[in-house]
């Protein structure tokens, strides 16, 4: 039993993307509805066809009851979400495919909606002041968090900086390598109307930018955004009759080694994968299910909350050897359209928009359809990822043709 090509993505939709707070007075729920209706329309389907939801990272607050009620879904037959956070982005489509392959549902919506007003992810792990309710800059104190927070680590970017520092120490990775990821991603965003950051980014700009948490500067950090993205997945058979050619779910995997665990909010990961994205076991299973290897991937949409984590995913997905991510990007390999593996052709979380990784799935679909703004010529296999994060991280391979 395998998921391979049992399901296909048939619709993608999104609101426009906003800088943090600028989506008001819309609500996140409303944006989720708009993106879902857009994705169904893209597929040539309606709400009457929907019978499932496969979410992640507490999209819709982790509950679909009101959404189904308000949109008038005739019957919900599957509703679930991956545990964890942004690591589940790509994997939520795998969850949809699992529901479809098992026969539990036939037309499943995955989505993320985000409005960073009440909370800002940049300080997700800041301790709350005594006697204060949780606010924009605070999180509940936990027995495990007590072993991290007093050190001054209060945000994910600071925590991933610790992993990046170790990678530099072990392998000689340089800030110029992180800069190449930020700059190549920006170049891709510059050609896209949907992107929030379209000004040229030079190496001088990068090195003159303020340092946030060494070795990460401003441009190593993703954007803080509002918006929603939805993806509709159905059976491979039904996909043939819809508006676009099917985009097959060739493979999806999520999870990670147990002792990767809470990862950055723990810092106790095994020594041999501390300076990694945590994706290695997911990548292995993903390629096994897909029946392909990294050399077969035409375009990679790698979750880029922080630029060093793109570099580590390039290693962990086998596009280069462990520790060789720096020289690999330095060679121009990830540039569109000239590189051997164009990465984040949509401008990523770094320069297009941060909707917790769902823009990567949307771009993977458009690349396979052949309709991407920065189209990789002849793209047949696209990789999209979610995380690096605590367990689960996830991966998804989308395909133009069924496996043969």
Partner 1 sequence: MSAAAEPVREPVRLPPAELVSLSPDVFTELFWHAAGEHRLVLPRCSACGTFRLPPSAFCWKCRHQEVDWVEHPGTGTVYSFTVIRHPLMPELADTVPHVPAVVELPNTNGCRLVGAMTDCAVSDVHIGLPVELVWRDIEEGVAVPTWRPA
Would you tell me which residues interact with partner 1 (CB under 8 A)? 122-123, 126-130, 137, 140-144, 146-155, 158-159, 161-163, 165-166, 169, 210-216, 258-259, 266-268, 271, 274
Q: Which is nearer to partner 1, 159 or 289 (CB)?
A: 159
- Catalytic: 171? no
Q: Which is nearer to partner 1, 58 or 137 (CB)?
A: 137
The answer to whether 308 and 163 have CB atoms below 8 angstroms apart is yes
By CB atoms closer than 10 A (0-12, 13-18, 19+), residue 120 is middle
Instruction: State the nearest-atom distance from the C-beta of 89 to partner 1, in Å.
Output: 24
Q: Which of 171, 219, 303, 317 is catalytic?
A: 303
Q: Which is nearer to partner 1, 72 or 131 (CB)?
A: 131
What CA–CA distance (Å, rounded) separates 324 from 319?
Answer: 9
Q: Which is nearer to partner 1, 165 or 194 (CB)?
A: 165
Q: Which two tokens stand for residue 161?
A: 């900086």
Instruction: State the nearest-atom distance from the C-beta of 167 to partner 1, in Å.
Output: 9
Instruction: State the nearest-atom distance from the C-beta of 134 to partner 1, in Å.
Output: 12
Closest CA to 368 of 194, 272, 215, 249: 249
Instruction: State the nearest-atom distance from the C-beta of 20 to partner 1, in Å.
Output: 14
- Per the rule left: phi > 0, alpha: psi between -120 and 50, beta: everything else, 66 is alpha
Instruction: State the nearest-atom distance from the C-beta of 216 to partner 1, in Å.
Output: 8
- Catalytic: 137? no
Q: Which two tokens stand for residue 192?
A: 């896209």
For 313, residues 6+ apart whose C-beta sits below 8 A from its C-beta are 277, 279, 302, 303, 385, 388
Q: Which of 56, 171, 248, 354 is catalytic?
A: 354
Residue 139, beta-bridge partner list = 127
For 93, residues 6+ apart whose C-beta sits below 8 A from its C-beta are 9, 54, 110, 231, 233, 249, 252, 361, 384, 396
Active site residues: 303, 354
């Amino acid at each position: 039993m395998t998921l391979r090509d049992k399901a296909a993505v048939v619709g993608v939709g999104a609101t426009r993307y906003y800088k943090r707070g600028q989506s008001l007075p819309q609500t996140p729920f409303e944006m989720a509805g708009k993106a879902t209706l857009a994705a169904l329309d893209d597929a040539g389907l309606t709400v009457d066809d929907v019978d499932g939801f496969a979410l992640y990272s507490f999209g819709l607050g982790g509950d679909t009851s009101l959404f189904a009620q308000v949109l008038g879904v005739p019957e919900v037959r599957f509703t679930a979400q991956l545990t964890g956070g942004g690591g589940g982005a790509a994997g939520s489509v795998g969850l949809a495919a699992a529901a479809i392959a098992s026969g539990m549902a036939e037309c499943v919506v995955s989505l993320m909606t985000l409005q960073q007003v009440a909370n800002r992810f940049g300080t997700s792990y800041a301790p709350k002041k005594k006697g204060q309710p949780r606010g924009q800059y605070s999180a509940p104190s936990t027995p495990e968090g007590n072993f991290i927070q007093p050190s001054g680590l209060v945000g994910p970017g600071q925590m991933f900086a610790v992993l990046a520092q170790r990678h530099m120490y072990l392998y000689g990775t340089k800030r110029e390598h992180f800069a190449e990821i930020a700059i190549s991603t920006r170049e891709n965003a510059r050609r896209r109307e949907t992107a929030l950051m379209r000004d040229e980014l030079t190496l001088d700009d990068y090195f003159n930018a303020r340092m946030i948490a060494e070795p990460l500067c401003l441009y190593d950090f993703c954007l803080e955004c509002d918006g929603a993205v939805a993806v509709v997945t159905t059976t491979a058979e039904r996909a043939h009759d819809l508006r676009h050619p099917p985009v097959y779910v060739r493979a999806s995997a999520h999870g990670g080694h147990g002792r990767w665990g809470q990862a950055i909010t723990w810092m106790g990961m095994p020594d041999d994968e501390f300076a990694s994205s945590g994706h290695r076991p997911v990548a292995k299973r993903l390629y096994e299910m897909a029946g392909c290897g990294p050399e077969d991937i035409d375009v990679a949409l790698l979750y880029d909350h922080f630029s060093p984590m793109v570099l580590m995913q390039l290693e962990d997905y086998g596009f280069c050897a462990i520790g060789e991510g720096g020289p690999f990007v330095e060679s121009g390999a990830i540039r569109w359209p000239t590189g051997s593996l164009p990465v984040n052709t949509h401008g990523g979380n770094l320069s297009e928009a941060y909707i917790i990784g769902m823009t990567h799935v949307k771009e993977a679909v458009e690349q396979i359809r052949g309709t991407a703004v920065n189209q990789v010529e002849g793209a047949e296999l696209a990789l999209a990822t979610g995380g690096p994060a605590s367990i689960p991280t996830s991966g998804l391979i989308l395909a133009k043709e069924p496996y043969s």
